[in-house]
Structure 1
């Protein structure tokens, strides 16, 4: 399942992304964590030492390399340069699994509390006045477009803060989007804005209350977001310690907050997987993105109308040596 954590700056979405990643990994399930926020703090929240983060190659810094890998032998894509961030996979494209041989994980991933961490990279000095952050986040979108996640496999993405999460088709790539909101008018106002953006695209947004002190805060959230309220995190000494740069053992997290993480996982697991919609939305947002370009016709021709993303497509693209191992 692909899961996004979104919200306004300071709401605690990066902290929740890290906690949920650690919770899943501690239960022995495969989990990938992607930092797609312009402020790159997920690795730090996961306790990855600074010197290791400095050496971690960023997805956003290597677009040509990633495109060259993912285009595979797709006859509709003549070169890596012909791909844009929304170019959907088709027959011949290299599809990725969460486990097993994955060249993107091997090149750009690093271990983090039992998970695999990847980063889109920060907004650099050389980007000022030249490019926007969407080009870096576009590599996360391309990765998710080519990723076939199976039952019991999880990809957790820490989205950039604010409405920028909806500036591309990235927001449609998730099975569940958790909006982290404090029990304040600003916090719940962000939910209404996000819900309006997502309504026409079949994107389910559930609210996770954060920094909740008492039942009055819970009732405030219920009053303003109704049934969208999934769960809430109470004020936490554990989280406060994380915010000071310490990394206590997950076993020390308050029991009520552990139960909240469990409820979030249950909610994700109960969500149906719709590969047909995933494939359709890939094509829709690719067409939408390329309408304003002079090469729109060439880009539209990259869509393979007979391709359906999902486990069957991944099975077709399994490397021959993996097939040989399975057959033995």
Structure 2
């Protein structure tokens, strides 16, 4: 299952995504966590200190390795240099799986130990480098994440949880269509609702399974406000948490000590995510992947690479759990 957490900056999406990751890890569910936000805080939210978080290898720095590995022997891709963030897999491409070791994970993923003895593999896009300042946009950093999601096969009992960049910036690429479920974290404020409405409008034509998670709820008035503005999209709400406050001070308690109401909220998220598996449509997933690749190819990809990137599309290929096994490393 591929899960995204989105929302306005400061809404608490990183905190909630880290709690959901802990919830899955406590249930011994295989998963990979990805920090795709311009503000890289997921590592710290999972308990890493500042020095350890800074040492996480940025995926963007390993983009050539990622491209070369995923290209495999695909005859439609002449070289890794002609791959862009939306390049879809085809016959001969290498595919990623949650429960495996491969050169991409070796270079980009690190195991993070959690307080209850469990752990999670974490990958991060990375911060701006000095050479990026003033000349690059952040979406060049998330290209590695989009490529990996395009080449990933995951099953019902496996999870990828992505902490996305804030607000409508998620729509600067086709990555917003890569998820089985999107949890939009919204505060009970006009700004929080504005981001929800914008996201829902942009996602309307793409079959996005969108659930709103109300955060920072302080009383019945906050709840009534969200219900009135969001309606049936409101899945669950989360209130104040002494556990989270202690964690943010660098004193994370045992996850078992999280407040019962908030543990119940995480179970509700889990149930909603699991139910989305029944609606998974690999053909639509592949079709949307190709749609955004062709748009990017025409808009800028062909000119940048000097190649006809439309020819990279394998019309007979459909990504899915029955897709042929990946090539050996």
| SS of residue matched to 1:209 | strand
Deviations 1:29-70 (A, max 9, x none): 001110000010000000123333333211011211110111
Given that residues 32 and 115 in structure 1 are in contact (C-alpha distance below 8 angstroms), is that contact kept between their aligned partners in structure 2? yes
> Could you tell me the TM-score, scaled by structure 2's length?
0.94
Answering whether residue 309 of structure 2 is matched by residue 304 of structure 1, we say no
- Per-residue CA shift, 1:209-241, capped at 9, x if unaligned? 001112221111110000000111111111222
Which range is displaced more, 107-116 or 67-76? 107-116
1:277 to 278, 284, 308: 284
Contact 1:211–1:235 under 8 Å retained in 2: yes
Q: Tell me the equivalent position of 1:126.
A: 131
Structure 1 unmatched runs, 5+ = 321-328
- Deviations 1:83-121 (CA, angstroms, capped at 9, x unpaired): 001001111100010002333222211112311100000
Secondary structure, counterpart of 1:268 in structure 2: helix
Once residues 102 and 216 of structure 2 are traced to their aligned partners in structure 1, the CA distance between those partners, rounded to angstroms, is: 37
Matched, 1:71 2:80: no
RMSD between aligned alpha carbons? 1.4
Of the candidates 163, 173, 177, which is equivalent to residue 172 of structure 1?
A: 177
Residues 211 and 236 of structure 1 are in contact (CA less than 8 Å); yes or no, is this contact kept in structure 2? no
Partner of 2:232: 227
Distance apart, 1:294 and its partner CA: 7.2
Pick closer, same or farther for the CA change 1:294–1:204 going to 2, 3 Å: closer
1:251 Cα offset (Å) = 1.0
SS for the counterpart of 2:317 is coil
Q: Is the 8 A contact 2:5 2:164 kept in 1?
A: yes
For 2:299 and 2:192, the matched residues in 1 are separated by: 34
Which deviates more, 291-300 or 111-120?
Answer: 291-300
Q: 1:273, CA displacement in angstroms?
A: 1.7
Whether 1:316 and 2:325 are equivalent positions in the alignment is: yes
Give structure 1 regions of 4+ aligned residues with deviation exceeding 3 angstroms.
none
How many equivalent residue pairs? Answer: 319
Runs of 5+ consecutive residues of structure 2 not aligned to the other structure? none
